[in-house]
Structure 1
Amino acid sequence: MSGFAPPVVATAGSADPAAPLVVLLHGRGSHEQEILTLAGHLPAHLSYAAVRAPIAEGTGFAWFANRGIGRPRAESLRETMDWFRGWLDGVAPPGRPVTLVGFSGGAAFAGGLLLDDPKRYAGAAILYGTLPFDAGVPTTAARLAGVPVFVAQGEHDTAIPRELLDRTWTYLLGESGASTVARRDPVGHGIASAAVPALAAWLPERLA
């Protein structure tokens, strides 16, 4: 058992407990209310849960301890993923589709969750971040075979190491076997305005 308290969760969209669930995962040093604003631009018939990460980080929170930007410590990532699954399995039992949408550090966390148990999720959006390579989760060939993934990156992103962004792009569009929709936008480390309607169109297709 982790020493973390139960998560703080902010919700939006449908209140139907059977509605498909989209879990929003904020970036490092941020919080659940900030990422929840994204829900206002996404399909209203879906249910949204923005979860606060469990580790205090500056004025916000983080999903894992790291050994460098975009490089989670394996033991920390395992602990927080197990904590998250304890919450998720309580609110979304088998049969309720769940899609992960993570930004920056939340993208790495979403990627970790997906790679750890690909069959648990209807898909994942990896927004302006990296997968957690060399952090205790499998990144083998065909690990995500057929899994829907939406990946968006900034062409001028200098917050996430370019090597990790490129490795994520190459893996998701090739060796992983995922069914990937990918875009690169002329922005830095932030969600491009044009990426939001693309994400909004992708989500219902995954959660029909």
Structure 2
Amino acid sequence: MSTVHPPELPIDPAAVIWSVPTSELPGALTGRPLLVLLHGYGSHERDLMALAEHLPTGPVVASLRAPLPAGPGYAWFPITDPARAGDPDLDLANAATTGVMHWLEETQALTRTSGPVGLLGFSQGGAMVTHLLRHHPELFACGVVLSGFTVPGLVGGDEALAQIAPPVYWGRGLADPLIGPGAIERTERFLDRHTTLTARSFAGLGHGVAAEELIEVATFLRTHLIPS
């Protein structure tokens, strides 16, 4: 019997953490870049906001809560087999992507002049970055994937993504025990063919983020998200 998946896994707008007061969003978003943060499995929207102090101050930052409860936090899609954490269900990833896009549309409707949008995600959130780019490559200025991967399967926007080839920073630890070699090889092959890729690996780093990596990410965002 086939499993029926929901067409959308919605984002809770009340759970979004912003770098500016919500009362100031219409003015703050006018013409300014927006950086969307997407946390990892079992985490929450407050997690990646801790990185904000290491990132450029120009963009408005929004940290989203994933739609599915998972352990002490939330997830973008479930993990039923830890050995295949890097191989999520395509339909569920699509449903989570639809939820993020609906939230983004409602957010951009707050202002008549939206600025460029960048994506930054860790682990599952990094997979969401690649999946959002695959579905809507024309809408995002750049993506940052930290210890993340691509979702297996074909997406309708893959060909357009290859033509647009947006800049993507992909950083990972060489000692990461969670994302297997198959997922790494798939991700490297896909991003190399479909994006303008900056790929960095860090010796001794597990499933985490290195201090040197944050410095590179800040430079990447200044170059590709903040208009000169």
- Provide the TM-score with structure 2 as the length reference: 0.82
| CA deviation map 1:63-116 (0-9, x unaligned) | 123563122212212221111111101113574211110100100111111111
Give me the whole-angstrom Cα distance separating, in 2, the residues matched to 1:96 and 1:130. Answer: 27
| Percent identity of paired positions between Structure 1 and Structure 2 | 31
Give me the whole-angstrom Cα distance separating, in 2, the residues matched to 1:74 and 1:165. Answer: 17
Higher alpha-carbon Rg: 2
Give me the whole-angstrom Cα distance separating, in 2, the residues matched to 1:170 and 1:2. Answer: 28
* 1:37 correspondence with 2:50: yes
Higher relative contact order (CA 8 A, sep 6+): 2
Query: Which of these residues, 80, 91, 96, is aligned with residue 96 of structure 2?
Result: 80
**Residue number in structure 1 paired with 2:4:** none
Query: Which of these residues, 5, 11, 25, is aligned with residue 18 of structure 2?
Result: 11
| Contact 2:11 2:103 (8 Å CA) reproduced | no
Whichever residue aligns with residue 12 of structure 2, its letter is: P
Give me the whole-angstrom Cα distance separating, in 2, the residues matched to 1:20 and 1:143. Answer: 21
**Residue number in structure 1 paired with 2:85:** 69
Structure 1 unaligned spans of 5+: none
* 1:121 correspondence with 2:140: yes
3-state SS, counterpart of residue 102 of structure 1: strand
Query: Which of these residues, 151, 157, 168, is aligned with residue 149 of structure 1?
Result: 168
**Residue number in structure 2 paired with 1:137:** 155
Query: Which of these residues, 50, 56, 80, is aligned with residue 63 of structure 2?
Result: 50
1:151–1:3 distance in 2 versus 1, CA, 3 Å: closer
**Residue number in structure 2 paired with 1:205:** 223
Q: Which structure has greater helix proportion?
A: 2
**Residue number in structure 1 paired with 2:131:** 112
Aligned length: 205
Give me the whole-angstrom Cα distance separating, in 2, the residues matched to 1:185 and 1:3. Answer: 33
- 1:5 Cα offset (Å): 5.9
Which stretch shifts more, 104-113 or 140-149? 140-149
| Contact 1:127 1:153 (8 Å CA) reproduced | yes
- CA RMSD, Structure 1 to Structure 2 (Å): 2.2
- Provide the TM-score with structure 1 as the length reference: 0.90
3-state SS, counterpart of residue 29 of structure 2: coil
| Contact 1:128 1:154 (8 Å CA) reproduced | yes
Structure 2 unaligned spans of 5+: 1-6
